[in-house]
Structure 1
Amino acid sequence: MTNPLLADWNTPYAVAPFDKVSDEDFAPALEEALAAHNAEIDAIANNTSAPTFANTVEALEAAGEALDKVLGVFFTVAGADSNSVREDLQRAFSPKLAAHFSEISGNKALFSRVAAVWEDRENLDLTDEQARVLMLTHRGFVRAGAALEGEAEKRMKEIKARLAVLGTEFTQNLLADEREWFMPLSEDDLEGLPDFVIDAARAAGEEKGADGPVVTLSRSLIVPFLQFSPRRDLREKAFRAWEARGANGGKTDNRAIAAETLTLREERAKLLGYENFAAYKLETEMAKTPEAVQQLLMEVWEPAKRQANADAEVLTAMMREDGINGDLAPWDWRYYAEKRRAAEHDLDEAALKPYFQLDRMIEASFACANRLFGLEFKPLDVPLYHPDCRAWDVSRGGEHVAVFIGDYFARGSKRSGAWCSAMRSQAKFPEPQTPIVINVCNFAKSDPALLSYDDARTLFHEFGHALHQMLSDVTYESVSGTSVARDFVELPSQLYEHWLEVPEVLGEFATHAKTGEPMPKEMLDKVLGAATFDMGFQTVEYVASALVDLAFHDGPAPADPMAKQTEVLDKIGMPSAIRMRHATPQFAHVFSGDGYSSGYYSYMWSEVMDADAFEAFEEAGSAFDTERAKALETHILSTGGSRDAAELYVAFRGRLPGVEALLKGRGLAA
């Protein structure tokens, strides 16, 4: 029988036939797909015809279709619905894939053909997109080590293979720690918790097979527990477990993995002639240099720290009123901040949450996309990899645009966080293909499913990434959708968050789970008025993480990353009651792969643009201004990486932004 992963997918819009795929299909499918890709690469490299854009660069674009299908399915389920078999497969696949792509980037005959096309580029009459794809292809080979020879070439392959193994181990260790730990709660322990937290704790207990409610290390459960539990001892116990992920000793400890990863990254950069890994990594980003990143982060750090320290004094005074002496601790901050928010903004999260139903927030994100870009969403009945998943057919003017899949609930088989990925990206070459895009979140499951305001922002954020994929309109897949500079990729996602804050959107879609009544205007005003509440805390925990990430890579690799983390935090004066958003042993953005390594600052870099970009809509007089929406799609959402990121932003806005709009938007402006 034909392996279902490699067969033609005769399903609606060629969505993967998840109901026919078993874990036993992945390994043989990968072997066959790798062999097919190798044959395609050999044919390109050994072509006896003179190198041309068509027979070399376009041929590379067309190669690997079977491999894309297999990996698109595998990495989707490995991240969102893992099991022991899939974890074993991931450990086996990582070095194999690293070796495969190292062989391609190190193929001398192939590189010589790419280099020949590159040298002849002025005579080829290429379109702007073709010229961009050629530049990126050539640069990718050079940065991967294609020009290396002898021992340097051999060592580069070894480093890549080892880094792939380490990234997989880091991710699986973190998932194991998050999956294994939970704290049972007695009925007395539930006192003071709002119903939505109790419901989520009971649902988590059922998922864990416990006798009653539990607190897990899922952010969507532990954060509200830390906000609302009056039991300081339980808050401390939960927080310490959350903070200790990846640093508990034993086989799931990530500290040695982080140290080895940083050492190998530095060696990799130096093999390529760079001073350090940050210099190598940032060369292709908008920021260009570590100095530019450091400058941005410090411009935001000082006003954020000032605000956080002022807030800490207020929260400490509140703690004293409760008869608690000593210093404000990290497990105290969210609890007293929530009490302060209720007092100062008369905003009760428990009263607010019923207005943020998951289904209504999904509708809101769709409605905004419809008003801005004319997209329509119709439920699509196709087999998916988990019962919690759902799918929609996305169309415009009656024409199919994309398939969108949502997987929203936390579970033990899913890694933490939220992300967007494309199981298939948009392209017109070699054949037209529409994207299949998936948003994965970790919201607490209840009936009905209720979100916090931050959860709703996460939903809009990830859907902004999805729009970047769905509205892509380029020829070549390598520059499709989110295939852009890392510090540009967060612009569409963070920009889309602003539409959640538009009063008419909340007025229509923030309806009560039981009564169906819209959120009262008085509450709506309070929600929007509290939008920058506790922003000192949020900014400090994020910027601290970004500064530590940069310090890890901008200079010699630290032998002890934990000591380096402490050194950086001491130097910048980290407030004692706030922790990094992602401490080193759980910093998956940086250590599960190269994606955000030396690049966690990207969210802040993109926020400088998103704050400025939304001002363009405000200046036009409407968040749904037709002309601005068209410009956003034309210059940013549809163009992918087909043009330089700075050029795209200037085309949309007329100029590059400064940090002022960001500070104003976060309520940190002096």
Structure 2
Amino acid sequence: MTFISCKSGKTVGENPFFAEWETPYGVPPFDKIEPEHFLPAIERGMSLHEAEIDAITSNNDAPTFENVILAYDASGKMLSQVELIFGMLCAAENTSEMQALEEQIMPRMAAHADKIRLNGKLFERIKAVYDRRAALGLDAEQSRLLEKTYRSFVRAGALLDAERKARLKAINEELSLTAVKFGQNLLAENNNYALELASSDLDGIPATARDLAREKAEAMGRKGKYVFTLHKPSLIPFLTYSSKRELREQIYKAYLNRCNNGDEYDNKQLINDFIRLRTEKAHLLGYPSYAAYVVDDEMAGTTDAVYGLLEEIWTPALESAKGELAEMEELFRKDFPEGEFASWDWWYYAEKVRKQKYALDEEMLRPYFSLENVQGGIFFLANRLYGITFRPIVVPLYHPEAVAYEVLDVDQSHLGVLYFDYFPRDGKSQGAWCGNYVEQTYEDGKRVAPVVSVVCNFTRPAGGNPALLTLDETETLFHEFGHALHFLFHDVKYRGLAEVEGDFVELPSQLMENWAFDPEVLKQYAVHYRSNEVIPKYLVDKLRRSELFNQGFMATELIAASLSDMDIHSITEYEPFDPMAFERKALTEKRGLIPQIEPRYRYPYFSHIFDGGYSAGYYFYTWAEVLDKDAFEAFRESGDLFNKKIAGDFRRKILARGGSEDGMTMYRDFRGKDPDKRAMLRGRGLLNEPEPSGEDAAPAAETASAAREN
């Protein structure tokens, strides 16, 4: 790949990964990092890591917690740092050079990880310490680190014989490259589609969406036209407001058929490759299916527990959605007496029903939700709950549109740095996510503060107005900010205890959503961008009354995707299959999904489960929703939604602790009891209880949200 080393005149000696960073707050020197720096840095990082592992295995002293477990926990820091930055940039700023690097680097990283985890001498020393654990006098965190380290090696194949280890290595390398190809195909499909329209085609489209489409067309050199894309800020307004049914059908089918068109970007064979390889991997490791392998290490524990929760929600959610459809079909029949309601009609007629039942139009709300004000709202909430503050800073940025803040703790000490990157662009994956550029660690007994980034794909400013967010985008920002707080509050002694279970990870993010539309919080940030008028009470009341609007649809499409994920990863014996036929059988034939609703993600573009780390894990959002709604009940029961003591407990007992204990133990420590799923069912409108009234009415903050694309 000659261009990788020839892009600039910089020499390897100037590689910023090879020097100590002199940047403010320890942020990455994005102004100096070039694509050609990554491969040499990865290679050096792997070499250093191997030397550190060799020092552990060649040590002639008897294995101890210090010379094995702590030494292993401290190893690979340079490699981990480079890998973090590379991975984050591949998602947020993925150029053709970075894509070429991905194809080189990811299989090599997989091979390196296996070289460590399948190192017989290393595991022998880890096992020696593990077998003596009861006699070592370890404290709770040390015991947890030892347990997690041993278990991670076993789950990675340390107990396998040489032949099976070799096969597992080959599988992991192939899986890593398959994931790269899947993501790159999807990025191309998202970027390649453009629906070009004339002004006469825009009936019903609101001004904000028109302005965005006009500006997109101008950027593409199509002045006088309007271009709509498959990015959500363009797609959803079109589906919601366009009166041109044939155009709604056209763009929605393009969205649904991404990577399913029999061309160079088709992902169906890659899906077969994923399932073939993952199923074989599960068998090598002693599990009947890949889903069983994944869930065994999560809070749920078994696939039966996952299916039990999903099926409990599925039936009432689908019935609720059918009721919503019946309401919409009355309006649809007036427009198309002989027509058949289709999936691309749902957003359009749902909005009509919302106007009819609640006199509520999302376009009338958007002026109160400018991006600047919503960001101010999350800062207000974090200060009210936790006492932290945010100060804009000038630091190196990986993209000109990113902004950065220093996060200050209650005592004004440095807690971390938080980047925001809000708008869609060609090099960015769809959805929203939060991650680290620098992890919270400890060096010489001193806390190293994290550098965190929230990445979104929100509606851009258009027509001379600021970015005006939808309710969904507003809730998304609260969600991702919850992840950011989890990272920022981390105060974990050992690197191996940083991560929590997958079905616990969405608790901090989804909890924050509960405040998004609380009347007291709305007073602080929902201010009209022109008049500075605080959102009037009558609009807040409409939001409260419509809190369960369209919840059947949202729950159904969410659970449909979760079930399709579990089903495809529960295959016990792989045979070549058609993913689309498998999806139809799993959802339509087996469970009765109505054709007017598509699962939130169809297999060819289901990035979460194929290249996004949520394989057999899309249920995480629903599992965590049980926790987040029950946790919010603690605030409600106290009579103060901003109860600082409860917030302090949540920070100290959950957010700060990382994976220092298992998720359920931490949750019980915070809540004093097991989570109660009734709050989640109530928030989804799926629990038959007497309607509250007057002062007892549930605030709009209890509106259950659709899971975020993070």
Q: Which TM-score band applies after superposition, normalised by the shorter structure?
A: over 0.9
Match of 1:469 among 477, 483, 487: 487
Residue 387 (structure 2) aligns with = 374
Match of 1:39 among 43, 47, 51: 51
Residue 632 (structure 1) aligns with = 650
Residue 18 (structure 2) aligns with = 6
Say whether residues 1:291 and 2:304 are aligned partners.
yes
Tell me which moved more, 353-362 or 123-132.
123-132
How far residue 87 of structure 1 moved from its aligned partner, in angstroms, is: 0.5
Residue 559 (structure 1) aligns with = 576
- Secondary structure at the residue paired with 2:326? helix
Q: Distance in 1 between matches of 2:584 and 2:546?
A: 32
Q: Distance in 2 between matches of 1:309 and 1:297?
A: 18
Residue 193 (structure 1) aligns with = 205
Say whether residues 1:408 and 2:425 are aligned partners.
no
Q: Distance in 2 between matches of 1:605 and 1:226?
A: 30
Match of 1:424 among 427, 435, 438: 438
Q: Deviations over 1:121-145 (max 9, x none)?
A: 1122212111111111100000000
Residue 584 (structure 1) aligns with = 603
Q: Distance in 2 between matches of 1:324 and 1:375?
A: 57
**Quick check: 2:259–2:605 contact (8 Å CA) kept in 1?**
yes
Q: Distance in 2 between matches of 1:473 and 1:491?
A: 18
1:367-516 aligned at under 5 Å gives the runs 367-396=380-409, 397-429=411-443, 431-446=446-461, 447-480=465-498, 483-516=499-532
Q: Deviations over 1:629-656 (max 9, x none)?
A: 1111121111110001111111111222
- Secondary structure at the residue paired with 1:133? helix
Q: Distance in 2 between matches of 1:602 and 1:134?
A: 26
Residue 174 (structure 2) aligns with = 162
Quick one: percent identity of the two aligned structures?
Answer: 43
Figure out how many residues of one structure are paired with residues of the other and give that number. Answer: 667
**Quick check: 1:6–1:70 contact (8 Å CA) kept in 2?**
no
**Quick check: 1:6–1:66 contact (8 Å CA) kept in 2?**
no
Say whether residues 1:350 and 2:356 are aligned partners.
no
Residue 531 (structure 1) aligns with = 547
- Secondary structure at the residue paired with 1:432? strand
Q: Distance in 2 between matches of 1:601 and 1:469?
A: 22
Residue 10 (structure 2) aligns with = none
**Quick check: 1:409–1:445 contact (8 Å CA) kept in 2?**
yes
Q: Distance in 1 between matches of 2:208 and 2:497?
A: 43
1:513-662 aligned at under 5 Å gives the runs 513-556=529-572, 557=574, 559-560=576-577, 561-569=579-587, 570-593=589-612, 595-662=613-680
**Quick check: 1:62–1:429 contact (8 Å CA) kept in 2?**
no
Letter in 1 for 2:433: W
Match of 1:80 among 92, 111, 128: 92
**Quick check: 2:435–2:452 contact (8 Å CA) kept in 1?**
yes
Q: Distance in 2 between matches of 1:271 and 1:104?
A: 18
Q: Distance in 1 between matches of 2:669 and 2:220?
A: 51
How far residue 207 of structure 1 moved from its aligned partner, in angstroms, is: 4.5
Q: Distance in 2 between matches of 1:622 and 1:206?
A: 50
- Secondary structure at the residue paired with 2:422? strand
Tell me which moved more, 147-156 or 203-212.
203-212
Q: Distance in 2 between matches of 1:363 and 1:127?
A: 42
Q: Distance in 1 between matches of 2:666 and 2:326?
A: 44
How far residue 440 of structure 1 moved from its aligned partner, in angstroms, is: 0.5
**Quick check: 2:482–2:510 contact (8 Å CA) kept in 1?**
yes
Match of 1:202 among 214, 235, 244: 214
Q: Deviations over 1:151-179 (max 9, x none)?
A: 11100000000010111111111001001
Letter in 2 for 1:69: Q
How far residue 559 of structure 1 moved from its aligned partner, in angstroms, is: 2.7
Letter in 2 for 1:476: Y
- Secondary structure at the residue paired with 2:395? coil
Distance 1:601 1:198, change over 3 A: same
How far residue 567 of structure 1 moved from its aligned partner, in angstroms, is: 0.8
Q: Deviations over 1:189-240 (max 9, x none)?
A: 2221111111222333344444332111111210111001111011001000
Distance 1:266 1:485, change over 3 A: same
Q: Distance in 1 between matches of 2:393 and 2:135?
A: 48
Letter in 2 for 1:547: L
Normalised to the residue count of structure 2, the TM-score between the two structures is: 0.92
Q: Deviations over 1:308-339 (max 9, x none)?
A: 00111111110111234222101100000011
How far residue 562 of structure 1 moved from its aligned partner, in angstroms, is: 2.2
Q: Distance in 1 between matches of 2:138 and 2:104?
A: 41
- Secondary structure at the residue paired with 1:439? strand
- Secondary structure at the residue paired with 1:428? strand
Tell me which moved more, 413-422 or 424-433.
424-433
* Structure 1 unmatched runs, 5+: none
Match of 2:290 among 277, 287, 290: 277
**Quick check: 1:319–1:325 contact (8 Å CA) kept in 2?**
no
Q: Distance in 2 between matches of 1:180 and 1:267?
A: 35
- Secondary structure at the residue paired with 2:311? helix
Q: Distance in 1 between matches of 2:262 and 2:337?
A: 32
Distance 1:459 1:626, change over 3 A: same
Residue 252 (structure 2) aligns with = 239
How far residue 106 of structure 1 moved from its aligned partner, in angstroms, is: 0.7
Residue 138 (structure 1) aligns with = 150
Q: Distance in 1 between matches of 2:270 and 2:36?
A: 29
**Quick check: 1:262–1:558 contact (8 Å CA) kept in 2?**
no
**Quick check: 2:609–2:615 contact (8 Å CA) kept in 1?**
yes
Match of 1:300 among 308, 313, 318: 313
Q: Distance in 1 between matches of 2:249 and 2:507?
A: 36
Q: Distance in 2 between matches of 1:568 and 1:90?
A: 33
**Quick check: 1:61–1:478 contact (8 Å CA) kept in 2?**
yes
Tell me which moved more, 427-436 or 215-224.
427-436
**Quick check: 1:429–1:475 contact (8 Å CA) kept in 2?**
no
Letter in 2 for 1:515: S
Q: Deviations over 1:84-107 (max 9, x none)?
A: 110110111110100000100011
Q: Distance in 2 between matches of 1:516 and 1:98?
A: 53
**Quick check: 2:447–2:491 contact (8 Å CA) kept in 1?**
no
Match of 1:24 among 36, 40, 43: 36
- Secondary structure at the residue paired with 1:20? coil
Tell me which moved more, 64-73 or 169-178.
64-73
Letter in 2 for 1:581: R
Say whether residues 1:125 and 2:137 are aligned partners.
yes
Distance 1:149 1:210, change over 3 A: farther
Normalised to the residue count of structure 1, the TM-score between the two structures is: 0.98
Letter in 1 for 2:467: A
Distance 1:280 1:62, change over 3 A: same
Say whether residues 1:53 and 2:65 are aligned partners.
yes
**Quick check: 1:419–1:462 contact (8 Å CA) kept in 2?**
yes
Residue 705 (structure 2) aligns with = none
**Quick check: 1:378–1:394 contact (8 Å CA) kept in 2?**
yes
How far residue 429 of structure 1 moved from its aligned partner, in angstroms, is: 4.8
Q: Distance in 2 between matches of 1:472 and 1:392?
A: 17
**Quick check: 2:380–2:524 contact (8 Å CA) kept in 1?**
no
- Secondary structure at the residue paired with 2:491? coil
- Secondary structure at the residue paired with 1:423? strand
* Structure 2 unmatched runs, 5+: 1-12, 689-710
Q: Distance in 2 between matches of 1:210 and 1:299?
A: 50
Letter in 1 for 2:416: A
1:88-127 aligned at under 5 Å gives the runs 88-127=100-139
Q: Distance in 1 between matches of 2:487 and 2:544?
A: 29
How far residue 40 of structure 1 moved from its aligned partner, in angstroms, is: 1.3
Q: Distance in 1 between matches of 2:293 and 2:455?
A: 31
